[in-house]
Amino acid sequence: MYYVGVDIGGTGIKAGIVNAEGKVLLRSSIPTDRSFDPYVISDDIAAQIKDLFTKAGIKTEEVAGIGVGVPGAINSTTGVVDYNNNLHWSRFPLSKELSARTGLRVKISNDANVAALGEAKFGAGKDYHDSVMVTLGTGVGGGVIIDNKLFEGNEGKGTELGHMVIRVGGEQCSCGRKGCLEAYASATALIRDTRRAMEKNKDSAMWKYSPKLEDVNGLTAFECSKKGDKAAQKVVDDYIESLGEGLVNFINIFRPQAIMLGGGVCGQGDYLLKPLTKFVKDNTYGGDVIPPTEITIATLANNAGLIGAASLVMED
Amino acid sequence: MYYVGVDIGGTGIKAGIVNAEGKVLLRSSIPTDRSFDPYVISDDIAAQIKDLFTKAGIKTEEVAGIGVGVPGAINSTTGVVDYNNNLHWSRFPLSKELSARTGLRVKISNDANVAALGEAKFGAGKDYHDSVMVTLGTGVGGGVIIDNKLFEGNEGKGTELGHMVIRVGGEQCSCGRKGCLEAYASATALIRDTRRAMEKNKDSAMWKYSPKLEDVNGLTAFECSKKGDKAAQKVVDDYIESLGEGLVNFINIFRPQAIMLGGGVCGQGDYLLKPLTKFVKDNTYGGDVIPPTEITIATLANNAGLIGAASLVMED
């Protein structure tokens, strides 16, 4: 039996055919239609999946179902995307629409929850019963595993970990509040802060790495910091402080055995992980007497969402 | 059968005899020994309980056990107080010591968790399956009920809700970090901010309510705000903003059906609740499409800790 995983993002949509061992057999990626029209996007996804079936030589009868990870407030019971502030969707019955277009049963959940489920079942979390995953992408999402189960909050509407204010009155967040973790620890925030630092420091090496402000990406500050650029180092230090404060907050609440970090910024590996681990250790409530939390990088990388989404239709 | 509940605080220790319906039959209160010596305090508690038995005419054989709520990082499985930054206890085997002094079995848990359990079983939370309790006292503690069960975090070390940073680099917290919710929403913080406002506003009516800075208490700002004093109003507004930001963070994580507020500040009733509820409604992620969270005031008041502690020995 095969399982389809779909990972809907603000800029692209990934889909893949996954087997029972959590291995992605074939995958594809399409851009998210800029109209954000949910019916157009449903058409696109259905075509994307049919294309995968054709290329893999798989018949619909061999597929157990489609699992979808979507950003925002999702009702995983009714299959409705209740609210999404990146795609501007409101109360869209995604399960129903995708099912009508594919003839397959569809289960949906929050994208970050789904990535956490994937990592917990088949990735970095498979040895832990309590873990938290934090995804550092366009936004910041989170997923929580308690006693080996995905914790989604009441009505599946919880664990919006990116929308925890860490600086009251701080940077504007896409959710309407100011000072959310997402507004400091997302790749979007990192790029914003890199650009600001460049504007303030005209002699920074960052201008060589990214000659125009529009060239700046999530690597600019990190790569220049490695080469000793002070302005870049400050951007990285501030980023790690904000992310670290957020992680310590999660640890003080859930006390997980592990925090798994996902998203592009994690490509930095130990250069991110070492100072972050030290910050977390120094600031966690309870010091040495509380159970340690390992900060790890998600091993499924960009596949976590796909594999986790496919996991949604593996359970029953 | 009777159950003993004990609530250990930084300034006083409450103990009570509770019946199976969660009613406190007899209670007493003693000051917490200022040496904070855990053995002296254990002696004090044992004497306090024996005194209650004598006054109530109850024999040890009629008592199922003693449940104790203690601030800090508690291992509820081993009965050890691993860490407490108010009492300065570290790895103290409270269950064992109290049991040796009373001949009764003893179960311990974090004081705020215990209060949440009491409210959830017998108080404001009894109609909800998902709730969060936040206690606004000397510190800020929290307890979380998920699917009718007390969620304590891995190894019983979680839900340190007061130690969630809401203003990175902000006010010094007793835990070592800066900017924790506790450093803004505790009664201690309210008093600190009231004093600061008085020092800045020598013509404030707060000087009439509390002629000396050492007279200031948790009522000063609230009562003078009700009478139109602007400096007092600002203290109250800021307090509600900080508390509100913290509650919204919890809602975005747990999406509880209700948040129950406990502690002295809640004596303000609607004067606190109305603006707080509006703030929370305006700022919660997901707006109208997510399940509502009712903000309520704990009904067991100062008994929540006692009743919840006694509940620890009711279950099994």
Please write the tens of the pLDDT for every residue from A40-54. 999 999 999 999 999
Chain B interface includes A166 (CB < 8 A): yes
Give B288→chain A minimum CA distance, Å: 9
Q: Percent of chain A having pLDDT more than 70?
A: 99
Chain B interface includes A290 (CB < 8 A): yes
What is the model's pLDDT at position A72? 82
CA distance B298 to B116: 9
Residues of chain A numbered 241-280 and touching chain B (CB < 8 Å)? 241-242, 245, 248-249, 252-257
Q: Do the Cβ atoms of A286 and B252 come within 8 Å?
A: no
User: Among A248-252, B61-65, B268-272, B283-287, whose mean pLDDT is lowest?
Assistant: B283-287
What is the model's pLDDT at position A149? 85
Dihedral pair phi/psi, residue B269, rounded to 5°: 55, -135
Q: Which residue of A has its CA nearest to B74?
A: A290
Residue A286 pLDDT greater than 80, yes or no: no
Give A39→chain B minimum CA distance, Å: 20
Q: How many CB atoms lie within 10 A of CB B1?
A: 11
Q: With the CA atoms of A22, A30, A272 and A231 taken in that order, what torsion angle do they form, in degrees rounded to the nearest 10?
A: 180
Residue A28 pLDDT greater than 90, yes or no: yes
What is the model's pLDDT at position B42? 98
Residue B289 pLDDT greater than 80, yes or no: no
Residue A288 pLDDT greater than 80, yes or no: no
Optimal mutation site among B91, B181, B247, B249, interface A, most CBs of chain A within 10 A: B249
CA distance B136 to B308: 17
Residue A164 pLDDT greater than 90, yes or no: yes
Could you tell me which residues come within 8 angstroms of residue A194 by beta carbon, excluding any fewer than 6 positions away?
A206, A210, A216, A220, A221, A232, A235
Residue B134 pLDDT greater than 80, yes or no: yes
Chain B interface includes A57 (CB < 8 A): no
Burial call B30-47: b when 16+ CB within 10 Å, e when fewer: eebeeeeebeebbebbbe
Mean pLDDT along residues A171-185: 96
Which part of chain A has CATH 3.30.420.40? 2-120+303-314, 128-298
pLDDT band for position A198 (cuts 50, 70, 90): very high
Give A170→chain B minimum CA distance, Å: 9
Of B167, B175, B289, the CB nearest to A285: B175
Chain B interface includes A78 (CB < 8 A): no
What is the model's pLDDT at position B309? 95
Percentages helix, strand, coil for chain A, rounded to the nearest 5? 45, 25, 30
Mean pLDDT along residues A282-297: 87
Q: Which residue of A has its CA nearest to B289?
A: A82
What is the model's pLDDT at position A158? 85
Q: Do the Cβ atoms of B249 and A165 come within 8 Å?
A: yes
Instruction: State the DSSP code for B214.
Output: G
Chain A interface includes B290 (CB < 8 A): yes
Q: With the CA atoms of A145, B112, B70 and B267 taken in that order, what torsion angle do they form, in degrees rounded to the nearest 10?
A: 170
Chain A interface includes B174 (CB < 8 A): no
Chain B interface includes A289 (CB < 8 A): yes
User: Among A135-139, B192-196, B268-272, whose mean pLDDT is lowest?
Assistant: A135-139
Optimal mutation site among A78, A84, A184, A290, interface B, most CBs of chain B within 10 A: A290
Q: What is the mean pLDDT of chain A?
A: 94
What is the model's pLDDT at position B138? 87
Q: How many CB pairs under 8 A join A and B?
A: 134
Mean pLDDT along residues B161-175: 96
Q: Are A203 and A179 in contact (CB under 8 A)?
A: no
Mean pLDDT along residues A127-150: 91
Mean pLDDT along residues B252-280: 95
Structural domain A2-120+303-314, CATH architecture: 2-Layer Sandwich (3.30)
Could you tell me which residues come within 8 angstroms of residue B88 by beta carbon, excluding any fewer than 6 positions away?
B36
Of A151, A153, A285, the CB nearest to B163: A285
What is the model's pLDDT at position A60? 94
Of A73, A176, A245, the CB nearest to B165: A245
Q: Are A106 and A98 in contact (CB under 8 A)?
A: yes
What is the model's pLDDT at position B279? 97
Of B159, B166, B289, the CB nearest to A166: B166
Q: Percent of chain A having pLDDT more than 90?
A: 81
Which element (helix H / strand E) includes A158?
none
Mean pLDDT along residues B93-106: 98
Q: Percent of chain B having pLDDT more than 70?
A: 99
What is the model's pLDDT at position B71? 85
Mean pLDDT along residues B194-208: 98
Helix (H, G, I), strand (E, B) or coil at B54: helix
User: Among A82-86, A198-202, A233-237, B16-20, whose mean pLDDT is lowest?
Assistant: A82-86
CA distance B200 to B197: 5
What is the model's pLDDT at position B198? 98
C-alpha closest to that of B119 among B255, B313, B297, B315: B297
Structural domain A128-298, CATH architecture: 2-Layer Sandwich (3.30)
Give A262→chain B minimum CA distance, Å: 19
Mean pLDDT along residues B273-277: 97
Q: How many CB atoms lie within 10 A of CB B72?
A: 26
What is the model's pLDDT at position B112? 84
What is the model's pLDDT at position B316? 53
For residue B285, the chain A residues in CB contact (below 8 A) are 73, 160, 163, 175, 177
Chain B interface includes A147 (CB < 8 A): no
C-alpha closest to that of B165 among A248, A295, A172: A248
Residue A316 pLDDT greater than 70, yes or no: no
Rg of the Cα atoms in chain A: 20
